[in-house]
Structure 1
Amino acid sequence: MKHFEVNFDGLVGPTHNYAGLSFGNVASLNNANAISSPRQAAKQGLAKAKALADMGMVQGVLAPQERPDINTLRRLGFTGSDARVLESAAKQSRQVFLACCSASSMWTANAATVSPSADTSDGRVHFTPANLTNKFHRSLEPQVTGRILQGTFANDKYFAHHTHLPDNEHFGDEGAANHTRLCTEYGQAGVELFVYGRHAFDSSKPAPTRYPARQTLEASQAIARLHGLEDESVVYIQQNPDVIDQGVFHNDVIAVGNQNVLFYHEQAFYKKDEALAEIRQKFGEKPLHFVEVPTDQISVMDAIKTYLFNTQIITLPGNEMAIIAPTECQENEAVSRYLEELVTKDTPIKQVKYFDVKQSMRNGGGPACLRLRVALTDTELDAVNPNTLINDNQFARLNTWVDKHYRDELREDDLRDPQLLSESRAALDELTQILNIGSVYPFQQD
């Protein structure tokens, strides 16, 4: 039996814009109100996905959310025609309106937490959509995300889908952005690392003071229970409150893992030595590589600016690992020098490949933010909706779809244009047919 790690990248939605909605995300705040390019963003994401497929990786895509979110605006009291709802919301409550136009679902590392069948008690792949309660614009996503995942992984013999956790800050869950899995082979039982920012029910525990800790320990524990994970295969690690207060809003901004490699910054974890010792103990005698980046080589600020740790580490055919990095890493002297040295050291990481994902980076998401990792056996892969997987034909079809429906530029005033809503719905309606995921959007179900 063969085993794969499949990366499902989020397709960038037609309303991709820079509204600066994410407090605690430095890049998002710094680029607020800049002119965006939805077409360029979508094509950059597709190009990265196709490049990984060309490297021999199995690569898929996940559909974006419907935006503007007219249904939510109506729930909030805006009435009349769709055009009237858009106009009233934009005039009366700008921040609410912008939140309901966000294309943030492109960052599918926040879509869900996934546990492969090798780790779960019932031998199925488990999915729990993230509730994303800390940010209003992202809290609108879980229901549709769940339907998209069910349309992608539809066979309940192999896949188990859970409802997102309660919509409450006590169970704040940010998905795979705070979850890493270590293993020797993708198909073998591994150790799942749940990184949390705070204890929801014990305010005496350490927590950040400037920016919010979005993931709670209690949410992580709930997901482990839902997925049927045994205690010996789970490690709960607290993220360093100090780095959250410096703008490290998710663990995947300061650490990333793949198979038997954990790549992390010196300041990533609270009580780091204890956490690493527990990981090593539960991982067993098998080879395990802790690649720690010292502060005196790469500052936390440089890590955030370049998203050195929001890179993907992938295992190429032949078992050599490569880092998929944004071009910002290449453009930073200290980070570029560090990566050049890293590939010469005694670790499985032997290549670095740079990609231009600047449209995403400006809103605070690097290559790792753009993908949801799903470890599958060959039998499970055969059960995945094949229309969601990238090959030459589907790549060409999706690029044509983007060219047909997406605008070159988008300004804030454009978001209230009823024509943009019509364009977005037409695009998504066609996309559900291209991907064959069914009627997942409210406008298709009304």
Structure 2
Amino acid sequence: MRKAAPMGKTVTIGEISDFISGRTRPSLPKLPLEAKSGVLHEQSNTGAIFMMILQQTRSFCAKDARDKVFGLLGVIKRAARVRNLSECPISADYSKSVAQVYEEATTYILKNTSNLLPLSMVSDPSRILVKDLPSWAIDFSANFCLSLGEFNAVLGNQPDSNAAKDPPKLLEYPIIRGRAMYVLAHILDKVADTGEAPTEVINTSLEPYVKFTMNCPKIYRTGQHRVEVLWRTLIWDYAHTGSLHPASDACGVSFRYWLAITICNAIRREVCKGRLRSNCSFEMRNLEELAVGDPTGNIPRLHEIEEICEDNGVFEDGLDPERNTEQVSFRIRDRGGLTFRIDDRGGLKLDSQLGEFGLATGLCFSADPRMYRTHKGYIGSGPFSTCKGDVVIIAAGGKIPFMLRPVGSPEDLKFQLLGDTYVHGIMHGEALRSSDVERKWL
């Protein structure tokens, strides 16, 4: 655990007015007249300890949902005493509702950490179990899914994402008044189109991913081909081993094999149901079109898919329909004699590093993220509930962009938090380098 930063010199709000640009909302409470240049303060590590322990116990069960927080208070307070930190003021008060307990815990953590990482623990609305929670409050009873922000936080000394750099040097940030939270943010863009989430395509030929990619410009704003943008976005540009971020080009080769095997398993299931071989091949015409125009060579050709199916007996007459429910491993032998296998449920059996992409999806797909494209052409992977019209923001103090849903009229600047999001090409502050970036209180 890092030591808390020393208290910095006092500076006026006017000295950081370059950061606080844009229209100030009339409903926003007045900001403190002074701010400390040291973002962390005396209690910061206590808040960080609280968040860390809550993260580690997200998958634990409790008969009383309030005990997901109350059951940890003794450990947290002891850890604070050992480190000579301020104690956590939260107490086990069973007169409070589950929503009140979770909101209080989230508020404490946000006010006593140096960034917006706690917001990455917010569950997608479709997974929320506790009603009447503000959208920014963490539902500690929801099924745990590793978010991009949480994955980013455990990289250790590996390069990580830092889309928004440092938070504003204010005594209080984010600002929480009642059940509303205010952050200083740049609105990047609105979602124009969405693709499918892994649970919606993993048992298909992945044709939806192919169609989504075909509708994107061939060359992305980073100069990369759309196929490379596709596979990097699917795994948040994180590999499973070696240099984690950005993922190495070897992951692109692994993507080719992963894609081929996943499609072959989808064909096998269709053949077992009685589909004709010709019909299965016909439905993959978009894959062939994408492969022909792919200079990276990471999209398998249709004849390669058919060869793999032939080699593994997919098209043999008299297949037992019961095999449709079994896990079947395909084998591909590449030019170097290395073998890569993947079963139809996504489980990997590896004889080489060719399964690197599949291992990465095991982490990223647990959150069931949805692919999307914005009006300005940004491509990302966001919360499952993401839909057209949602807004991508880069909030000060947030290493990861966030997905918001507008509530009320556009002039209100009120939003519901859906979760964090990966946006290809802006995860290291690239979007804030322009001189015309406008930040607003949301």
TM-score (norm 2): 0.25
Structure showing the higher helix proportion among its residues: 1
TM-score, normalised relative to structure 1: 0.25
Give the number of the structure whose alpha-carbon radius of gyration is greater: 2
